[in-house]
């Protein structure tokens, strides 16, 4: 999941300086989860822009409809074609991926050239929950977890070392850079010890191969997922989860 937070309103208004008619595009994916692109976030943003003298048209995306998935988002963008044609700027409340996908589709797919601005700052790929998350993956293109007992040194180690720990690890096994954080390589050692694989710890690992991080990385899927079929196929599992979790939710309310 891509963690994100909303930009300060002062920065957003700076982008929109001199622009009167604004279209706000929301996102039903990660931005909805982080309350940076859901309907309430869009309504709150619209209220702030209106109070700043702007005229606003809102394009919310239903839950699970991500603006970065053009097969889904194009439907909602096309419904508001007239508003997009007449606006002075578009404000996209999603991660940078969604902003760029929306920009490309509005311009190349719809033939409408308008300035498109981000409302959010994407922080990175995170894991955990339900309320606390941490960055877990750099999407580096060459996963090293098989060599390091399932703990990523690129995100867990402050220096991104592939052969550690460094000479600066503290006596309490904390990181030299961040004394509040456990040393990643101590954690890797301890997990390898649990797995009975300490012999792998002393193996010399090659430097990380960053060539697969060339930007932008391009992908092609031979058989695109049919979102309707996939959603219907997942319905039984979703209903099963909803039913099984209901007693737990009711107990938590008590």
Q: What is the DSSP code string of 104-163?
A: HIIIIIT-----EEE-EEEEEEEEE-SS-EEEEE---SS--TTTTTT--HHHHSTT--SS
Q: What is the DSSP code string of 227-247?
A: HHHHHHHHHHHHHHHHHHHHH
Instruction: Report the distance separating Cα 117 and Cα 4, nearest Å.
Output: 15
Structure tokens at 13: 């208004």
Q: What is the pTM of this model?
A: 0.78
The residue written with tokens 């955990």 in the block is 128
Instruction: Report the distance separating Cα 230 and Cα 236, nearest Å.
Output: 11
CATH 3.40.920.10 for domain 2-125? no
pLDDT reported for residue 124: 84
Tens of pLDDT, residues 31-76: 988 999 999 999 999 999 999 999 999 999 988 889 999 988 999 9
The structural domains of the chain, with segments of one domain joined by +, span 2-125, 139-213
Are 102 and 110 within 8 A, CB to CB? no
> What is the full per-residue pLDDT of the chain (254 aa) written as tens digits?
898 999 999 999 999 999 999 999 999 999 988 999 999 999 999 999 999 999 999 999 988 889 999 988 999 999 999 999 999 999 999 999 999 999 999 999 999 999 999 999 998 888 888 888 888 888 888 889 999 999 999 999 999 999 989 999 999 999 999 999 999 999 999 999 999 999 999 999 888 888 877 777 676 767 765 656 656 676 676 677 667 665 555 555 55
């Amino acid at each position: 999941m891509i963690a994100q937070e909303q930009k300060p309103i002062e920065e957003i208004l700076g982008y929109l300086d001199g622009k009167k008619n604004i279209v706000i595009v929301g996102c039903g994916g990660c931005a909805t989860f982080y309350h940076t692109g859901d309907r309430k976030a869009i309504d709150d943003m619209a209220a702030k822009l209106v109070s700043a003298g702007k005229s606003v048209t809102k394009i919310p995306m239903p839950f699970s409809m991500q603006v970065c998935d053009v097969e889904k988002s194009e439907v909602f963008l096309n419904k508001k074609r007239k508003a997009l044609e007449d606006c002075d700027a578009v404000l996209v409340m999603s991660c940078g991926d969604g902003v760029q996908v929306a920009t490309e589709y509005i311009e190349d797919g719809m033939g409408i050239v308008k300035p498109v601005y981000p409302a959010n700052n994407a922080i990175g790929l995170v894991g955990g929950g339900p309320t606390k998350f941490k960055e877990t993956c750099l999407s580096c293109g060459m996963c090293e977890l098989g060599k390091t007992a399932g703990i990523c040194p690129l995100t867990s180690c402050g220096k991104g070392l592939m052969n550690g720990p460094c000479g600066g690890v503290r006596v309490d096994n904390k990181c030299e850079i961040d004394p509040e954080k456990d040393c990643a390589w101590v954690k890797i050692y301890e997990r390898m010890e649990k797995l009975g694989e300490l012999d792998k710890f002393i193996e010399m690992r090659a430097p990380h191969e960053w060539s697969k991080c060339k930007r932008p990385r391009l992908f092609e899927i031979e058989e695109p997922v049919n979102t309707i079929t996939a959603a219907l196929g997942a319905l039984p599992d979703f209903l099963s989860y909803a039913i099984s979790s209901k007693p737990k939710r009711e107990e938590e309310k008590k």
